[in-house]
Amino acid sequence: MCLIMKSGIIRLSALLIALPLFYYSCTIIDNNVVETGYGLKVQNGMVVSAYPDASIIGVKILQNGGNAVDATAAIHFALAVCNPAAGNLGGGGLLVVRESDGNIAALDYREKAPLVAARDMYLDDKGEVIPGLSTSTHLASGVPGTVAGIAEVHNKYGNLSFKEVIQPGIDLARQGFIVSDKLARSLNKMKDRFIERNSHITAFVKDESWVEGDTIRQPELAETLELIRDYGMDGFYRGRTADLIIKEMERVNGIITHGDLENYKAVWRDPITGSYKGYRIISMPPPSSGGVAIIQLLGMIENYPVSEWGFHSDKSIHLMTEAERRVYADRAEYLGDPDFVKIPVEELMGIDYLAGRMSDFNPDQSGDSRDISAGSIPGYESEETTHFSVVDGDGMAVSVTTTLNGAYGNGIVVEGAGFLLNNEMDDFSVKPGYPNIYGLIGGEANSIQPDKRMLSSMTPTIIEENGELFMIVGSPGGSTIITSVFQTILNVIEFNMDMQTAVSAGRFHHQWLPDQISVESDVFDTLLVQKLEKMGHTIAKRPSIGRVDAIRVLSDGSYEGGADPRGDDTAAGY
């Protein structure tokens, strides 16, 4: 440790927590200085992720000659070790990359329904949803896409060898990592579930409770990562790891087969692009609803004076809520896997369509979700998932969101392979009109079909200003991902916040149904709640919303981090 510099704490009534303005520390690793902290500003390269070890691993890759995609691969594998609630090998993800020359691409490595999956597989004889089947059992897992996704993006863009980018994750699994207080509490809460759902003792369970400072070692996960290091995708989708996944499936009611694993492929898709007040927004297309929704939200509010109305004023909250109500209604009706359903993407994002959707906006009165259905086009956890943002010295940027769906997925660890399985099948509409774990309602576009990808809310996003890289942003949080990203963007562009303040600021959320504004505790004061209730809104307090990890490029070309203080999220750079 070479230096700790602490300077200033501010408390704003509308902010969720006491916000450290600056809190830097720097560590010398292999003769290189890695800076970490809130409000971090660096010149050469930055990573903001959900756990300090993963952020530091990413920066070390950058310092050793890797580019942003090499760092992305290394962070992804590291998070599979030190962020077991959401980092994963047994899940999937979505990412957007912008090369230093401005070329953009989006990679879809979302999980898929197994080939024998069926539309009504979670319903009983009477057509009723069987509680827990799509969330808490082997049957809840989609075919994992993460390893295919990392291999694909690294193969296309990486500079370093695959072995170099995966080795830090292997070392972290084998040598262990230090457990934070938040992680210790989370694992202790999950203990009974891990014991109940697994026939073996997992690395996440020990006799005593976990406490901050403990070390978790994961030798079985290290072995799986070594197979991936030595055989690439075949180290996961074929051979020993695949056999262990199938054996785990056969233990109870799983349906993933060797054929499902062997056939899995990540897919390059055209990113969603749109504009907001001169900024270019680049985000994820379907099977995520995130990109379409963020363009819709920004488009619906663009012509209103939100900066004049002010951050968390009753007027701006009301406007943003009414836009969210309409956008989530569209999500439920139109969005799904583009390989299976025709999605009117351009129409949904069209200026006229968005203006029409807001034509019945009443500045003094809340809408009623019973009156709002999807727009007419001519012709949905615990809310886990994790996001990280990366930028290298050349300005190559990667925005990545990856998930097991619920915290620790379905809680089932593949015996002998050491990784958790996802419960992503619940992101399908298991029955039209039936809410998933996020309370999201879905329709036919997101019904279950063999080999289909379930609709996501993940919103990995990159923003340009005047053709140059400006921001990398995203969040976990199920249905609240989209609104967390929306608010963070507005906090910077409309309310002039620096990146850290924008990320730390309190959040609220509306998703059409249920018809309520969810708000982090104490973020709205009594007077504000009264004003919103007078307009007709229902206010529901809840625990934290989203964990945004973002990077902004400053006018001098340096990078400013925003690490979400709601978690162990850490900005690291050099």
The residue among 227 and 295 lying less far from ligand GLY, judged by its C-beta, is 295
The residue among 316 and 405 lying less far from ligand GLY, judged by its C-beta, is 405
Measured distance between the N- and C-terminal CA atoms of the chain, rounded to whole angstroms: 14
Number of H helices, E strands in the chain: 17, 22
Closest separation between CB of residue 95 and ligand GLY, Å? 13
Task: State both tokens at 151.
Answer: 């291999």
For residues 436 and 442, the answer to whether their CB atoms sit within 8 Å is yes
Closest separation between CB of residue 38 and ligand GLY, Å? 27
The angle at the Cα of 99, spanning 78 to 557, to the nearest 5 degrees, equals 90
Q: How far apart are CA 140 and CA 123, in angstroms?
A: 13
Among 427, 494, 549, 560, the residue binding ligand GLY under the rule CB under 6 A is 427
88 binds ligand GLY (CB under 6 A): no
The residue among 449 and 480 lying less far from ligand GLY, judged by its C-beta, is 480
Cross-sheet strand order for the sheet of 539-542: 508-509, 517-520, 539-542
Among 144, 299, 478, 573, the residue binding ligand GLY under the rule CB under 6 A is 478
Query: How large is the angle between the packed helices 314-334 and 526-535, nearest 10 degrees?
Result: 50
Closest separation between CB of residue 202 and ligand GLY, Å? 22
Closest separation between CB of residue 478 and ligand GLY, Å? 5
Closest separation between CB of residue 291 and ligand GLY, Å? 12
Per-residue contact string for residues 431-470; x = within reach of ligand GLY by CB under 6 A? -------------------------xxx------------
The residue among 363 and 514 lying less far from ligand GLY, judged by its C-beta, is 514
3-state secondary structure of 87: coil
Q: How far apart are CA 353 and CA 251, in angstroms?
A: 50
Dihedral sign for Cα 298, 304, 308, 310, please.
Answer: negative
425 binds ligand GLY (CB under 6 A): no
Near ligand GLY in 394-423, by CB under 6 A: 403, 405
CB atoms closer than 10 angstroms to residue 308: 10
The residue among 332 and 572 lying less far from ligand GLY, judged by its C-beta, is 332
For residues 119 and 448, the answer to whether their CB atoms sit within 8 Å is yes
Q: Tokens 């005047």 map to which residue?
A: 466
Residue nearest to ligand GLY (CB): 456
Q: How far apart are CA 326 and CA 515, in angstroms?
A: 11
Q: How far apart are CA 48 and CA 226, in angstroms?
A: 26
Closest by CA to 568, choosing from 56, 215, 216, is 56
Q: Which residue in 385, 386, 403, 488 is the catalytic one?
A: 385
The residue among 380 and 524 lying less far from ligand GLY, judged by its C-beta, is 380
Instruction: Please say if 385 is a catalytic residue.
Output: yes
475 binds ligand GLY (CB under 6 A): no
Q: At 45, which amino acid appears?
A: G
Closest separation between CB of residue 140 and ligand GLY, Å? 12
Closest separation between CB of residue 293 and ligand GLY, Å? 11
Number of residues that bind ligand GLY (CB under 6 A): 9
Closest separation between CB of residue 284 and ligand GLY, Å? 10
3-state secondary structure 294-325: HHHHHHHHCCCCHHHHCCCCHHHHHHHHHHHH
Task: State both tokens at 304.
Answer: 């209103």
Closest separation between CB of residue 481 and ligand GLY, Å? 6
Among 135, 137, 385, 487, the residue binding ligand GLY under the rule CB under 6 A is 385
The residue among 89 and 216 lying less far from ligand GLY, judged by its C-beta, is 89
CB atoms closer than 10 angstroms to residue 213: 10
135 binds ligand GLY (CB under 6 A): no
The residue among 229 and 452 lying less far from ligand GLY, judged by its C-beta, is 452
The residue among 93 and 565 lying less far from ligand GLY, judged by its C-beta, is 93
Closest separation between CB of residue 118 and ligand GLY, Å? 21
Task: Kindly state the DSSP code that residue 93 receives in the 8-state scheme.
Answer: E
3-state secondary structure 144-212: CCHHHHHHHHHHHHCCCCHHHHHHHHHHHHHHCEECCHHHHHHHHHHHHHHHHHCCCCCCCCCCCCCCC
Q: How far apart are CA 531 and CA 500, in angstroms?
A: 29
Closest by CA to 144, choosing from 355, 372, 412, is 412
284 binds ligand GLY (CB under 6 A): no
Q: How far apart are CA 113 and CA 106, in angstroms?
A: 21
337 binds ligand GLY (CB under 6 A): no
Q: Please give the C-alpha separations between residue 304 and each of 24, 124, 166, 320, 361, in angstroms, as whole numbers.
A: 38, 48, 47, 10, 12
The residue among 61 and 548 lying less far from ligand GLY, judged by its C-beta, is 548
List contacts with ligand GLY (CB under 6 A): 385, 403, 405, 424, 427, 456-458, 478
Q: Which residues are catalytic?
A: 385
